[in-house]
Amino acid sequence: MSSFLRGNFRMALASIKNTRWRSGATMFGIVVAIVPVLTILGIGEGVKRQIVEQVRSFGSDVMLVRPGAAPEREGLGDLQGLWQQQAYGAFTDDDMKAVTAVEGVGSIAPVMVAPGSVRSEDTDKQIPVVATSPDFIDATKYKVQHGDFFTDNDGARRIAVVGRVAAETLFDGDAGSAVGRVFEYRGESFIVGGVLQKLGSPTFGGSIDLNKAVIISTQQATHLANNAATYQIIVRPTPGVTLTQLQPKLEQALTESRGGQKDYHVVTQAETLDSVNRILTLLATLIGGIAAISLLVAGIGIMNIMLVNVTERMHEIGIRKAIGATKRQIAGQFMSEAAVLSAVGAVVGVVLSYIVMYILRVSTQLQPVITWQAALFVAGLAVLIGVTFSVLPALKAASKDPIEALRHE
């Protein structure tokens, strides 16, 4: 049987070579089906990796507490949660104290938005101001590139830490010499005590990009602007305590502090990954639909070509039957032809997809990634569809009466 298959394979190649244009057109159909599917899959995979990378940078041992109830996990829940958040009150000092008192809490840092913006001699740009506690650096594990983060002792002094981009903006593109220089906020002068290392994904700033912000202490913020509000608390447990152990205790304390209302939610890496995955699954379903349609069209193309092929080679079928080919052998011959045709198309399609991926990487911000599993799966699917759609033409060839086939010229 294997020798028969090998013979079929060779015959199929010969047949494809003999009908170059027609076979080429069919293969083109498969290529056109595969390339967009693999490219979209690749873009999806790239986006996924970027997001996962960001979520990873968050760290698996830290949690964020934000005002507002946990977003609904069905339908458009995530999106609703986004604007519902505004309706809930910020955290108070009492809330902070309650959370700090919870057993197992290691570092804790509030994140506060201080209204207004910073001015310097060198720029008119608006630079947002974020206020936090000295524990911030410990809770986030961010690195200070130049200088130091402010400490508890600096509380009364006007010392600030600036983001890398903000430092460049404030001091004429020179972040290195920013330490010791001065800027003004709400009529008071602040001295730059440190510059943060550039952050790949500044997750802990929430809606504010910490690279482009100025960080001051909460004491200064509340002193200068009494409407500054804590919209996020970063909590890192003490070593040896896991988030799952800490979370219920923390929630209990905070709910108590907020008058029995659970009007806040806790964000962890696992939860974020979960919602990212849900979005990506949705994307994959969409791609699956597109793939199914384009492969179906390619399959119909193969069927048409094979039908023409069968009609054109009726005499050959007759000869083969006359010298003893069974129905199954004739059907097998045409199906192996379709398999070879779609396999060649699949290989070309995959190669082309990789080329497209490279072009996208070079010329756009997308970072598509085509995994070999995806390539293999799509190529395999193309071959499967090719073979499936050749069943009908192959059966047509096989069931032809030998004498009728032989008379066909």
Partner 1 sequence: MGHMAIIELNEVSKIYGLGDAMTLALDEVTLSINEGEFVGVMGPSGCGKSTLMNMIGMLDHPTHGAYKFHEQPVERIKPQRRARIRRDSIGFIFQSFNLLPRLTVLENVALPLEYKGMLPRRRMQRASDMLERVGMRSREFFFPRQLSGGQAQCVAIARALVNNPKIIIADEPTGNLDSSSSRLVMELLAEIHRQGNTVIMVTHNPELTRYATRVLYMHDGQIVHDEQTKLGEVAPTAKKVIYASTDKNEDDDYAGVSALMTAVPGTTAEKPVDPADKPKPKTRKKKAAPRRKTTAKAKERKISS
Residue 323 or 362 having the CB closest to partner 1: 323
Residue 151 or 326 having the CB closest to partner 1: 326
Shortest gap between Cβ of 24 and partner 1 (angstroms)? 18
Residues 321-350 as x/- pattern, contact with partner 1 by CB under 8 A: xxxxxxxxx---------------------
Tokens at 201, concatenated: 């994904």
For 239-269, b/e burial (b = at least 16 CB within 10 A) is eebebeebbebbbebbeebbeeeeebbbbbb
Residue 15 or 132 having the CB closest to partner 1: 15
Q: What is the 3-state secondary structure (H, E, C) of 33-76?
A: HHHHHHHHHHHHHHHHHHHHHHHHHHCCCCEEEEECCCCCCCCC
**200: which DSSP letter?**
S
Residue 251 or 316 having the CB closest to partner 1: 316
Q: Rule CB under 8 A: choose which of 31, 34, 215, 406 binds partner 1.
A: 406
Shortest gap between Cβ of 9 and partner 1 (angstroms)? 12
Residue 143 or 315 having the CB closest to partner 1: 315
Shortest gap between Cβ of 344 and partner 1 (angstroms)? 18
Reduced to 3 states (helix: H, G, I; strand: E, B; else coil), residue 182 is: strand
Residue 164 or 400 having the CB closest to partner 1: 400
Residue 4 or 358 having the CB closest to partner 1: 4
Q: Rule CB under 8 A: choose which of 146, 164, 212, 320 binds partner 1.
A: 320
Rg over CA atoms, the chain: 33
Residue 6 or 143 having the CB closest to partner 1: 6
Task: Identify which range of 159-167, 234-242, 318-326, 360-368 contacts partner 1 by CB under 8 A.
Answer: 318-326
Does residue 351 belong to the site contacting partner 1 (CB under 8 A)?
Answer: no
In whole angstroms, give the CA distance from residue 333 to residue 10: 10
In whole angstroms, give the CA distance from residue 397 to residue 310: 6
Q: What is the 3-state secondary structure (H, E, C) of 256-287?
A: HHCCCCCCEEEECHHHHHHHHHHHHHHHHHHH
In whole angstroms, give the CA distance from residue 270 to residue 243: 10
| Number of residues binding to partner 1, judged by CB under 8 A | 26
Shortest gap between Cβ of 383 and partner 1 (angstroms)? 23
Tokens at 406, concatenated: 């032989």
Shortest gap between Cβ of 348 and partner 1 (angstroms)? 23
Give Cα 21 distance to the centre of its chain: 40
Task: Identify whether the C-beta of residue 291 lies closer than 8 Å to the C-beta of residue 378.
Answer: yes
Residues 2-41 as x/- pattern, contact with partner 1 by CB under 8 A: -xx-xx---x--xx--x-----------------------
Shortest gap between Cβ of 407 and partner 1 (angstroms)? 10
Residues 6+ apart with CB under 8 A from 355: none
Task: Identify which range of 87-95, 220-228, 299-307, 397-405 contacts partner 1 by CB under 8 A.
Answer: 397-405
Residues at the contact surface with partner 1, assessed by CB under 8 A: 1, 3-4, 6-7, 11, 14-15, 18, 315-316, 319-329, 401-403, 406
